[in-house]
Structure 1
């Protein structure tokens, strides 16, 4: 079958959700609640970190960036998914599809490397506490905060370029957003070279950032075990427990979805995992990083107290 290229295909159809009207209504309400909670939780966390001076530390600088990324990539996917759940014809323009994929892939890759920066920050805080303010200077923090975006969006640009040059046999995407695996499945011809480029980029992003995190936590655990008191060990571990939980959930879903040489046969499972890390995880992150965080709770109490009892 002859494929359609950039000049002949104007739009795609997203068919990732079932056409059952009752199911779509339920999904719409669930996704809408999660999305609103995501915006409220992450935006609230960013504002709290900005207005409370005691949270102006490297750890919360990275956390505010994480919240920004969660808001951004959830907003890249969820509003379109909510719109499609209300429409019979779930179309997205060709340009809109690749713009969505560019920002989504770029933001997800950025989050991977930002989690690596956060792991390094925890490593310095626990393993070199006396030199923490020197090592994690404002200049270093800015560099560790900016580089994830630079690397992430460069990876995304390469991804978009190689996939957009494919010839597509059909315009129906078996997914609820323009993901790399779903678009690769539409290729008319042998896309092995393109798949390998995507696989290598995904592997580089996931594995390189994960190696940074693993090395950091090996050093952290080694340092914690040298602390003589159990109370001291628990206190040290509590400073990175939330990050470790967030990393486990995020990387677990990404590895399941993307680190497979041929994703087409796993598309259904990939869709389920995609719902989890595109819609659910951005909602969970504010809870993971704030529920057991005394600094955030105390900052919130201080802000509320100032609002209720202004001097």
Structure 2
């Protein structure tokens, strides 16, 4: 005896899904819905970043002291090579150059670490991505937040260095908060861009240290870009690329805020604040949309 005809006979899969309110599993939600889901996972993002930060140096005897010791050791090496041997201070004087160098190392490390963590955010957590359903942007955002927390620990040492070399707290120090907020937005957007690229190209993680090292040398971590350009007959586009480099902008804003004697009119490009805001908004929004567009493909294939 044959079964009675179904009222759904002849309907296409799309029509059946529409009739019963079904959706494809793992389909990308709309942009605003995606933002809403991320906000709902805010406690997970914060807890995950704190757990990663705690575990980062759990096997080392000095533990989280390495968060501060590593960039300080890097700064000491750069001072030996660039400050003493190559004399890259260009007449700044030791009281300005050492805080200048330490600030540059700490601030650039914030961006560098966020990028490197972003590259591995998806490819390094495939088990979590495939096992649980959550907005995948939670991972690069969480890793960027982890690097921000690490920098905040390092800022205590940075304050001690600047005060030890004669730069005492002033009203300019209040600018540290918006500077860090803008750099965090920039880093977060960059981490999401790198997370999408790294999810399909794991070898990118091997290439990025060379890219970041080149970026560091071009960003004035160890030397003042305006002083190095002074008197040099370089093409205009080279000067513009070096001065409007986002890493250099955030480093120089932080140096201006912290260091007495690091004058705005001498060391800062015009409209530095506007450029810092523009980089943060452009990369944060662009990186978020770029990452969201591949949401349904993460962890597959």
Is TM > 0.5 for Structure 1 vs Structure 2? no
TM-score (norm 1): 0.29
Find the structure with the greater CA-based Rg: 2
